[in-house]
Chains A and B, each alone.
Chain A
Amino acid sequence: MIAALDQLLGWIPFIHPAPLPPGARLWMFLPLAACVATVYRVTRAKSARELPLATLKTFVTIVAGMCLIAIAAYVIHAGVLHFSEG
């Protein structure tokens, strides 16, 4: 049945992988961080009304932390290259 539907439609979401635009891989981090922040805040909330501000704070914290980790990794990488060349 799926094969017949496939022939009829040509492209079916979830059956055929969707291509990502070039350079999108890095930015795909942001929605994932938002999902993690939301679920984490849900586990600590009494009601949904508490969520927007708390989720935003957690999201910003995650993104800032990941940026700092990326900068630190870049500095270490550049340092290793610099000293290994010298």
Chain B
Amino acid sequence: MARKNDPLMKMAPAGILAWILPGAGHYFLGQRGLGIVLFVTISFAYGVGLAVGGVKNSVNPRANGWLFLAEMGVGGYTVLGYVVSERLPDYGVKEPSPYVSYYPESDVAQIYLAIGGLLNLLAILDALMRAQTGGAPVFYLEAERSSQPKAEETDQ
């Protein structure tokens, strides 16, 4: 039963859920308000990028490997996007594809998608740390730790 209360046991599900769906890790940990805010914010950034860029070239490791790596911060959306992207037909070099965005839309899409993925990476790390600390953000723990030695010094 002690193992059930172990904060480390919450880390894996919180991290995986946060990777699959933005904010799900925080929701699982009981931080429902923060989870909803994360879901709306990160889904908005990723959704705008995907809407402006189109799924065909925006979620495609062969078209842009580094962008795909950044997008993989939001695993659920990116895997789904990749599956859809693979099902769309390829067009020749000479004819413009209706599924592919061009400059300047492609630039905006790439920035939004990459930022969305990287922001979710931040959210995953935050969910992992909150699982360890029982819900408190790391910032508060850092503040407590930095204030502890000062208190000991004043005692002496």
* Chain A, 31-48, CB within 8 A of any chain B CB: 31-32, 35-36, 38-40, 42-48
Q: How far is the CA of A46 from the CA of B126 in the complex (A)?
A: 12
Assess the A43–B123 pair: CB atoms within 8 A.
yes
Q: B61 within 8 Å of A by Cβ?
A: no
Total A-B pairs, Cβ < 8 A: 102
Complex partner residue of B100 from A13, A17, A35, A51, CB under 8 angstroms: A17
User: Which stretch from B9-17, B51-59, B146-154 is at the chain A interface?
Assistant: B51-59
Q: Enumerate chain A residues within 8 angstroms of B89, measured Cβ to Cβ.
A: 3
Contact with A along B2-23 (1 / 0, CB 8 A): 0000000000000000000000
Complex partner residue of B126 from A16, A19, A43, CB under 8 angstroms: A43
Assess the A32–B112 pair: CB atoms within 8 A.
yes
Within the complex, the shortest CB–CB distance from B1 to chain A, in Å, comes to: 28
Q: How far is the CA of A82 from the CA of B143 in the complex (A)?
A: 50
Assess the B34–A44 pair: CB atoms within 8 A.
no
Assess the A32–B111 pair: CB atoms within 8 A.
yes
Complex partner residue of B104 from A20, A32, A35, CB under 8 angstroms: A20
Within the complex, the shortest CB–CB distance from A53 to chain B, in Å, comes to: 14
Q: How far is the CA of A31 from the CA of B42 in the complex (A)?
A: 11
Assess the B38–A42 pair: CB atoms within 8 A.
yes
Within the complex, the shortest CB–CB distance from B9 to chain A, in Å, comes to: 22
Complex partner residue of A17 from B105, B112, B136, B140, CB under 8 angstroms: B105
Q: Enumerate chain B residues within 8 angstroms of A46, measured Cβ to Cβ.
A: 135-137, 140
Question: Assuming the A-B contacts A17-B109, A19-B105, A25-B108, are A39 and B42 also in contact, with contact meaning beta carbons closer than 8 angstroms in the complex?
Answer: yes
Contact with A along B118-156 (1 / 0, CB 8 A): 010011001000000001111110000000000000000
List residues of B whose CB falls within 8 A of some A CB. 26, 31, 33-34, 36-38, 41-42, 44-45, 47-48, 50-56, 81, 84, 87-89, 98-101, 104-109, 111-112, 115-116, 119, 122-123, 126, 135-140
- Can you give 23 contacting A-B residue pairs, CB < 8 Å? A1-B87, A3-B88, A14-B81, A15-B56, A16-B54, A17-B100, A17-B109, A18-B51, A25-B107, A25-B108, A35-B42, A36-B119, A38-B41, A39-B41, A39-B42, A42-B34, A43-B123, A43-B139, A44-B137, A46-B135, A46-B137, A46-B140, A47-B34
List residues of A whose CB falls within 8 A of some B CB. 1-3, 13-20, 25, 28, 31-32, 35-36, 38-40, 42-49, 51
